[in-house]
Amino acid sequence: MGPTATGKTELAVEWAQRLPCEIISVDSAMIYRGMSVGTAKPSPDTLRTAPHHLVDILDPSETYSAARFREDALTLMADITARGRVPLLVGGTMLYFRALDFGLDTLPDADPVVRARIDALAADAGWEGVHLALARVDPVSAARIHPNDPQRLQRALEVFELTGRPLSSFHAQPRASQLPYDVLRLALMPADRTQLRERIARRFHAMLEAGFMDEVRALKARGDLNPQMPSIRAVGYRQAWACLEGELDDEAMVSKAITATRQLAKRQMTWLRSYPQTRQYDPETLDHEGIFQTVAAHVNDPR
């Protein structure tokens, strides 16, 4: 686990090549086909040498959920272990990790009347106004949801209006994992956020050089996608889409995309600080062989 741009995939690939492990991606953007550059998806050569489950499984027009991820991941974990191998879960979508580890409470179904009321608030005060309304009743969810994420904002406020409970309370962790496995939880947690901020900026510029805007142009040219879809709301993609729409110039797009990615990393670290039974490592001072030996000892433990 860990925030974006900390080198999780590189470590996981090394371990999968040296140990009898199979990687399961825990990333809500890597699930989409045709979105490789902007999600920092492993290269085709890497995927051939270290296959990743739950990568390139959906078209960008489709949606996915934490509940579906949990179901898919549990099925894969059972299959992998039945073949005498070890699942290695890697990614930064913390809601998926928590759903898999601790389960999900049953949430109320969508209510068109409540949604219409929230849409009316958004039309009057903007989605930032909806974000402020959410912050008053569920500050935990408001801290995790970006003001430019209307679908998640609407859902969080809808759940509160329907149940009187903050959405964050449904995600509260039980005391024990619900997984039927002996789990080793490792997290890359930067001690120096300045270095992470710089790493994020460098990576986004590298994505641009690798053809990120051409990738977004191809998605836009399909004609069946829009910026309200979860795939296009992914960090970087929504800013690039706005640039292609003429809403942002190139300089503003780069600035906003880097800022959004840094905000994502901050939210990921907030989740990780409260994640139980997790060994945390600073990626800037990481002893690669030392952490590998820790993982190898766990993998080779006959329990």
Query: Domain of 138: which CATH number?
Result: 1.10.20.140
Residue 249 has pLDDT above 90, yes or no: yes
Binding-site entries for substrate = 4-9
pLDDT class for 169, splitting at 50, 70, 90?
confident
58 and 203, same domain (yes or no): yes
Range of the domain at 20: 8-104+172-300
Tell the burial category of 56 from Cβ atoms under 10 Å away from its Cβ (0-12, 13-18, 19+): middle
Instruction: Assess if residue 136 is contained within a domain.
Output: yes
What is the chain's mean pLDDT, rounded? 94
Distance, CA of 136 to CA of 140 (rounded, Å):
10
Instruction: Assess if residue 279 is contained within a domain.
Output: yes
Binding-site entries = 2-9
Count of the separate structural domains present in the chain:
2
Q: What confidence score (pLDDT) does residue 103 get? A: 87
Three-class SS state of 88: strand
The partner residues of 281 in beta bridges, in order of sequence, read: 188
Question: Could you say which of 170, 191, 206 is where a domain stops?
Answer: 170
12 and 54, same domain (yes or no): yes
Q: What confidence score (pLDDT) does residue 172 get? A: 64
216 and 256, same domain (yes or no): yes
Q: What confidence score (pLDDT) does residue 175 get? A: 59
Residue 173 has pLDDT above 60, yes or no: no
- The two structure tokens encoding residue 78: 């059972």
- The two structure tokens encoding residue 302: 């006959």
125 and 268, same domain (yes or no): no
Binding-site entries for ATP = 2-9
Whole-prediction pTM: 0.85
What CATH number does the domain containing 179 carry? 3.40.50.300
205 and 92, same domain (yes or no): yes
State percent of the chain over pLDDT 70. 98
Instruction: Assess if residue 84 is contained within a domain.
Output: yes
227 and 132, same domain (yes or no): no
The partner residues of 187 in beta bridges, in order of sequence, read: 280
> In angstroms, what CA-CA distances link 80 with 24, 92, 170, 298?
10, 21, 30, 16
